[in-house]
Chain A
Amino acid sequence: MNNITLELRKQARKLLEDQVVQLVIGYGRGSDPFRVTPVFVRHPDFVDSLIWNPFCINNLAKYLIEYRYLPGKIAVVIKGCDSRAVNRLIQDNQIERDKIVLLGVPCTGILEAEKVAKTTGYQLELERCSEQEEKFTLHTSSGDFSFAAKDSLITKCYSCYNHNPVVFDIMLGPAAKENPAAVKYSEVESLEKLNVKEKSEYWDMYFSRCLRCYACRNVCTACTCQECIFNQAKPAWVDRINNLSNNTSFHLIRAFHVAGRCVDCGECDRVCPVNIPLRHLNQKILKDLQELYDAPIPGADLETGPALGCFVTEDPEEFM
């Protein structure tokens, strides 16, 4: 058991026992050693189902939208990247700050489960994880396995903006080292260098395989509309018919709908079952917002409103 897990259970137990919160949303053991699953704890007797390990990938802030009408307060476990989403939800009046208790995790990166499993296989129990000097050690029923952070993390963690939550009520461990030198937009920059035809071919190849399952939307904390335009039957803004043209409309509309509000949590990218690199699309917009409006990453703080949701006289007006 690592210290964060112990602290998490302790805090969750206290919050539930003292009836500060009615529900704790956190991570629990998944059906494979390297999978986790969201768990919803309503009673102090069940806090031991909560865990923290370097596979806790989901952005749990999304559930705040689902459970916001629950009587009482909700505690939720958040990493640095997820914490920006919480600010965004508060800014959008999707949830009140008073309604939530944020259990912040100082996060040093999420390990890529498939990469890890190539070394370890799946036939083992993950007992605990420890970390030292850019190295993760998994203590398992089949012995210890070590992985260097530099080649075992998921992509987004290499360019992490906030290893520590930007907003929290209780921190579950000592602050993690931030990485200010992280390269944020290298992949977008190489895509920008392509000519129009190449760009079009790149996205056509991906958009044509989209299933229109809408997982990218459902997992996204910037998507909070009661009725999404892609579900509206009358008028049918975009046909449900799965083809390149409709799929392209879907993706471009969604990218614009979340522009200035996407916190780059990478969840859309993670969940896509057909590996469409949605993060490239959203990061291009983030990069433009930064270059045009000097806008910080959305959700970075509660005071800075969304770049496209406010007007400043210094704004460039290139397109007017």
Chain B
Amino acid sequence: MQYKVLEKDKISGFLDYLASKHNLMAPVSEDESFSQFKRVYQASEINLNYTNTVIPPKNYFFPPAENLFSFSAENGGIEIKESRQAENMVIFGLRPCDINGMSMLDPVFNGNFPDSYYGPKRERTILIGLSCQEVMPTCFCKSFGTDPTDGSGADLMLTGLENCFLVEILTDKGAGLLENAGGFFSDESVDKAISEKKLLRDKLAGAFLREPDLSGVKEILDKNFEHPYWEELAAKCIGCGICTFVCPTCHCFNMIDTSRPDATGSRYRCHDSCMFPGFTKMAGGHNPRPTRVERVRNRFMHKLKYHLDRYNLDGCSGCGRCIAKCPVNIDISQIITHIREVVKDD
């Protein structure tokens, strides 16, 4: 790995430069408690001290509503216009749990059957990570074996230290970006910055309030498809779907055709949620997940078992968004712990 140093007073210059040369997406605080990644035009719009955005950055590759194609049958035959936009993008300021979340999504859309909408967007994007400065009470990325300063999956990783940012160049894409922005970076005191980063990492590692132990959880789930515990959780769930909409790894969608009286229309795909009753409803009315028990179970099975079965990757990055936002305090970190206990009791 190659390292550089970016002095603190040069960060705005670097971000302004990025915004002028690229489509730059970065964390913006819209109001006191709402933040999201957004197209920014200058450094001053960016909140460098944000904890974690409410909306996960997966939306850039897997948008909440995406036009797939438009059609027109106006002149007899049918004419189809594909809509496939993939612009070059730089996403700056990704937290490690979000970078991880993207790595967990990749095999879903970019696996054996590459999705022609997701792949090109992902391909043309440069990811710049930014180490966390604090651990929120809902964070538990540590349980998944990463840490708040871990840049794996990004192209570049920045870590804010006392006087500078340590820059880790993780891929060729990242190196290419820096080549053209050479003026901002130096090789001086790289060693000092590396050891400072180690101190930050150790400090943050000790700051987690949630450290659920994941070992054996998948094996427990393999054997406990039916368990009264799911009913206990489902009793309180209001089926709102917040947990899936804010999750950086949830990826289910619905297809929607709209048509207008003039014989034109479009096909969209939109985020959907396994917590909605209509999610598995089939033509004819049969629903294999008829009650909330099956739906709640599915969500946690997907996060903690199915994703591992399919891709050998965790399905949760420990970002804690669903914990922070669930209106009834259904808490995946607590579930991980509970599952181990309830099964032991049996």
Given A40-B235, A58-B328, A213-B273, verify A243-B65 contact (CB < 8 Å).
yes
Query: B256 contacts A241, CB within 8 Å?
Result: yes
Q: Please give the residue numbers on chain B whose beta carbons come within 8 Å of chain A beta carbons, in ascending order.
A: 30-34, 36, 54-55, 64-65, 137, 209, 232, 235-236, 238-242, 245-246, 254, 256, 258, 268, 270-271, 273, 276-278, 323, 325, 327-331, 333-334
Q: Does A62 reach chain B (CB closer than 8 Å)?
A: yes
Q: Do the beta carbons of A37 and B236 come within 8 Å of each other?
A: yes
User: Which A-B residue pairs are the 9 nearest by beta carbons?
Assistant: A215-B240, A37-B329, A31-B331, A271-B327, A242-B65, A38-B236, A30-B329, A218-B240, A242-B64
Asked if A239 is at the interface (CB within 8 A of a chain B CB), the reply is: yes
Chain A nearest CB: distance from B12 CB in Å?
A: 26
Among A289-319, those with CB < 8 Å from B are none
| Residues in A lying within 8 Å of B, measured CB to CB | 30-32, 35-40, 58, 62, 117, 122-123, 209, 211-215, 218-219, 231, 233, 236, 239-243, 267, 270-271, 273-275
Known: A37-B329, A273-B245. A240 touches B235 (CB 8 A): no
Closest CB-CB distance, A175 to chain B, in whole Å?
Answer: 29
User: Are B333 and A31 in contact, CB atoms less than 8 angstroms apart?
Assistant: yes
Q: Is the CB of A240 within 8 A of B270?
A: yes
> Whole-angstrom distance from the CB of A255 to the nearest CB of chain B?
18
Q: Give CA–CA (A239, B67) in the complex, Å.
A: 13
A239-B258 in contact (CB<8A): yes
Set of chain B residues within 8 Å of A212, measured between Cβ atoms: 64
Instruction: Look across to chain A and name the residue whose beta carbon is closest to the beta carbon of B233.
Output: A37
- Please give the distance in Å from A188's CB to the nearest CB on chain B: 19
**Contacts A239-B256, A240-B254, A241-B256: A219 and B327 contacting too (C-beta < 8 A)?**
yes
Q: Which residues on the B side are within 8 Å of A32 (C-beta)?
A: 137
Contact among A38, A218, A270, A275 with B239 in the assembled complex (CB-CB below 8 Å): A218
Contact A117 B270 (CB under 8 A): no
Residues of chain A within 8 A (CB-CB) of B33 are 275
Please indicate the chain A residues that have their CB under 8 angstroms from the CB of B36 in the complex: 209
B240→A213 contact, CB < 8 A: yes
Nearest-Cβ distance from residue B45 to partner chain A, whole angstroms: 16
14 more contacts with CB within 8 A, not counting A211-B245, A240-B270, A241-B270, are A30-B329, A30-B331, A31-B333, A31-B334, A36-B329, A38-B235, A62-B238, A211-B55, A213-B241, A215-B238, A241-B258, A242-B270, A273-B242, A273-B246
Across the interface, do B242 and A58 meet the contact criterion of CB distance under 8 Å? no
